[in-house]
Each structure stands twice: as structure tokens, then as C-alpha cells.
Amino acid sequence: MLGDKLEYGLKVIGSVAALGGLLLAGAQFTRNQSVEAAKPYLERKLKWCEEAVETAAFIATSEVGAVAAAAKTLRFWQLYWGVMGLVENRQVTDAMIAFGGKLSAKESSSSLQGASLQLARACRQEMADSWSPIWRR
């Protein structure tokens, strides 16, 4: 009698563990499928974020009045008023606005560099939220 109850209890525990494993596997599969489905969009988002960060960093570290910086400034505003509005979250939006404000106010290189770094960090967080927590630090 005790042996029957023990056997039944072990079967129930085994069934619950198997069901739990199946549910976890299903959840992971669904997550992977959603990332795969979104992959083309996420890759474009990554490309635009990288370009925005590289452009801001170039501007922030350029010599005052450099011709190349003028071209990069134009590109920053194109990203600002264009594709970044399509892909950015609130943190990236705030970082783009902050950098744009400092750029418009012709603030110092160190101020622009700090804003550029904040943009990079906001983009990294956006990628972590979209792709994988491994991007977080």
C-alpha cells in the first residue's frame, strides 16, 4: 500500500516535471521565433543606431569648423528627423534630443562627447531590450 502511494506520487512528480519542461521549451521556442521574425527589422534598427552613434561621436570629436563635421552634422539631422523616429525607444529619443540640443547650441566638445556617450548607452540598452539581455552591462 505504501509502495503504491510512493509509485503514484513519483509518477505525478515525473509528469509535472515533464510538463514543466515542455512548457519552458515551448516558451523558449516562441521567443526565438519572434526574434527570428523580427530579425530583418532588428538588423536595420541596429544599423541605424550604429550610424547615429558613429555620426554623433564623429561630430563630438571633430575640430571646430571642420568640413567633414558639417557633412556629419547634416547626416545627424537626417537620422534625427527620419529613421531614428521609426526605431527608437524613449531612452534613445531623449538621447537624440539631448545631443541635438547641444549641437544646436554649439556647446563644447566635452559636452557633445558626453551626449554622444549617452546616445551610445541608450542604443545599447535598446538593443538589449530588442535582441537579448546579453547586450546589457
**pTM score, whole prediction:** 0.71
Mean pLDDT score across all residues of the chain: 86
Confidence of residue 8 (pLDDT cuts 50, 70, 90): confident
Compute how many other C-beta atoms are within 10 angstroms of the C-beta atom of residue 100.
18
Give one DSSP letter per residue of 74-89, joined into a string: HHHHHHHHTHHHHH--
- In this structure, of 32-46, 70-84, 89-103, the range with the lowest mean pLDDT score is 32-46
